[in-house]
Amino acid sequence: MKETTLTIPSNLPRTRREPSKGWAWPKLRELWEFRELVYFFAWRDIKVRYRQTVMGVLWAIIQPFFTMVIFSLFFGRLANIPSEGVPYPVFSFAALVPWTFFANALTQASNSLVVNTNMVKKIYFPRLALPIATVLAGVIDFALAFVVLLGIMLYYGFAPTTNIVWLPFFVLLALVTSIGVSLWLSAMNVQFRDVRYTIPFLTQAWLFVTPIAYPSSLLPEPWRIVYGLNPMAGVVEGFRWALLGTDTAPGKMILVSVLVAFTLFISGAFYFRRMEQSFADVL
């Protein structure tokens, strides 16, 4: 059935499917169009996460809380690690709240594409939605743990200082770091399943190079800027400063952290874009 010449419709948008090679701009506009999908993915993760568990949503608190108890016993009591004049439990918990958010985001988001293989292979939607939604779903857990943190502060008689107005900034920094790392890891995980096995090791190692159990003031000054290369160091120190008024004012170290976090985020988005066209074929 040979058609006579067909006209190109003027009122409809054209989408071109063509080979995409090399580096290209991340599909941000498309992600924006599908923002409701990001919301639904996050909502699904939250709804499903604690179904059929006995403790339910308490798990969001148990994990950082017991880590804090263990840290307080071994690092605070036995090793007598300094905590910048703040009771050790408050000191470590204020760091564990953003850290737990980051570590969980990392673990879950890096598997988000692999876990949803069937969907990726059978339906088209912006792939960015999966790791991003998984990270965002962790915000609820973070909020719950944060309430507990406020409770512990109250118990030890700490009122937040005016520095607290900066807290949203550090939350944002934690979010940017988490998404950045997740974009890298989730895209790599599609191609190289080695990633799955390195995650537990990675988070454990990262925990110790982040000043959670100890203050970054243990390091002499010139090294603290280098420390900022770990963006979670900036987040954790920022949290303590904003909530507890410890001395690490947002200086050069945090500036370095911000730069690194955004570099991770942007490079992650580009790397993801480069890999995403092969997801359906490789998975």
Q: Which positions lie near another protein, rule CB under 8 A? A: 1, 3-9, 12-20, 34, 36-37, 39-41, 43-44, 47-48, 51-52, 118-125, 190-195, 277-278, 280-283
Q: Which is nearer to another protein, 119 or 259 (CB)?
A: 119
* Amino acid sitting at position 204: Q
8-state DSSP, 24: -
Q: Which is nearer to another protein, 5 or 80 (CB)?
A: 5
* Residue 216 and residue 248 in contact, taking contact as beta carbons nearer than 8 Å: yes
Closest approach, Cβ 210 to another protein, in A, equals: 25
Q: Which is nearer to another protein, 24 or 73 (CB)?
A: 24
Q: How many CB atoms lie within 10 A of CB 243?
A: 24
Q: How far is CA 66 from CA 70, 96, 190, in A?
A: 6, 10, 33
CA 68, CA 42: separation in Å to the nearest integer?
27
Closest approach, Cβ 40 to another protein, in A, equals: 4
Q: Which is nearer to another protein, 214 or 279 (CB)?
A: 279
- Look up residue 72 and give its two tokens: 């307080």
Collapse the DSSP code of 158 into the 3-class scheme (helix H, G, I; strand E, B; otherwise coil) and give the result. Answer: coil
Closest approach, Cβ 1 to another protein, in A, equals: 5
* Amino acid sitting at position 91: F
